[in-house]
Amino acid sequence: MNANINQTTEALFCNACAVKVNSEDQFCNNCGYPLKGTEEEQKTFLMDKNYKEVNLDEANRMIRKTSNTLYYIAGFTLLVGLIQYGTTKQFDYRNSLLIVNFILALIYAGLGFWCRIKPFAAILSAASLYVLIIILNAISNPLTIISGIVFKIVVITLFIRGIKSAMEAEKLKRELNIG
Amino acid sequence: MPIYCDNCSNQTDYNKRYCRHCGAAINTIAEKSNEEKWISIKQAGLFFLLHAVACCIFSFVDIFNTISWKIAFDCFLAIVSIAFFALNWSELKNLLNWSCFSISKLSAFCIIAIVGSIGVSLIVRWINLELYSRTFSYYNFYLPHKHSISLAIFFTAVMPALFEELGYRGFLLGKLLQVTDTKQSIFISSFVFAIMHRSFISLFWLIPFALLIARIRIKEKTLWYGICIHFCFNFTATLLDILQYQHH
């Protein structure tokens, strides 16, 4: 009698995700945990879940790194804008240079912030903007490709890894039923 | 709402993610693997690069700044859009249907586009006067040619409306939808569309404009409303441009 009561109270909450379940359910309908499965099945399920959570942490770390990179790019763009403003003589031209760099920095910073919420859209947008700016500069002055080429390659590699991590994180979140 | 599990055919709950009898995942749309998604992204990236390089070369290399080169570049962009759309024909062909055609909806969209276009033209004119103390005109570019008005209308209203919609709302948005959720796809395709115009001031109205068209395209499942809106918008802007020129 006592054991029976214990069993029903145990079965009321899922061991893996602590959501309320019915006592007659075979599986948790929130996370798929085998409520009535063998000990080994339950162990395998929890290990798999744990593994996915570790991967999700890893992906989220990469996303944060990309977000920080976007902030750095924003700061760098603003700095370049101010330097160009200081060194350019023509009044009209230097004003528009400053405005363009200011808007660019604002977009990068905004995407960097948004990266924490919707990483995939933010990183892919930032990457396309970054590549477009490189192409624009390269065509108006081909020498700009070589200047800071290591920096550019590092940034683009980071973007690519960020996009892949964002895809991975989306997939894992869906599988773990969070977010 | 009760439904039946595909795996064990017991009754289960619609709003839950797993069947409580057999543990099978329910209501999961056949999802592509990350490798397939990455291929989609690369394809979209190639489309972006081709458009970006062509647009940048045209606007920054002076020898290409003639009408015949403009026509050549526009044709190139159109061919790229058509080619990428055709490569994904089986997935995208339904977008060319116009099954729920509605005159009232179409005219409402067109009126919004025309009003928006007039508003944006006035604001852009004011900004250009404030910042650069002069106005910019796309029409000036066609002026030396004897059919300047029809050329200007064809190359700023008809061609972009058709092929930008086909490329960005058709191909690009379609590819992104395979990779991520609807909201993010709409944002990315609109952002790319806006930055492709290479003018930082116009980002402020191009992004909302593109977001609106992309939303309509998702909701109505057809490209034609977008093409009409885009045409009305550009056509009004071109007409204002021509009128302003003839007034002076």
Per-residue pLDDT in tens (0 to 9) along chain A, 179 residues: 444 444 444 447 888 887 888 877 888 877 888 888 888 888 888 898 899 999 999 999 999 999 999 999 999 999 999 998 888 888 777 888 888 899 999 999 999 999 999 999 999 999 999 999 999 989 888 888 888 899 999 999 999 999 999 999 998 888 887 76
pLDDT of residue A8: 47
Asked if residues A52 and A175 have their Cβ atoms less than 8 Å apart, the reply is yes
Nearest-10 Cα torsion for A92, A93, A99, A103: 150
State the maximum Cα–Cα separation within chain B, in Å, rounded to a whole number: 78
Taking alpha carbons only, the member of B207, B61, B203 closest to residue A100 is: B203
Per CB-CB distance under 8 Å, the chain B contacts of A27 are 18-23
Q: Which of B3, B8, B9, B17 to mutate to test the interface with A (most CBs of A within 10 A)?
A: B17
Phi-psi region of A33 (alpha: psi -120 to 50; beta: other; left: phi over 0): beta
A95/B56 Cβ within 8 A: no
pLDDT of residue A4: 47
How many residues are given for chain A? 179
B52/A132 Cβ within 8 A: yes
pLDDT of residue B1: 54
Phi-psi region of A52 (alpha: psi -120 to 50; beta: other; left: phi over 0): alpha
Instruction: Flag residues of chain B having pLDDT under 50.
Output: none
Structure confidence by residue, pLDDT tens digits, B200-211: 778 888 999 999
Does any CB of chain A come closer than 8 Å to the CB of residue B192?
Answer: yes
Nearest to B13 among A29, A99, A136 (CB): A29
pLDDT of residue B29: 54
B34/A167 Cβ within 8 A: yes
Per CB-CB distance under 8 Å, the chain A contacts of B57 are 139
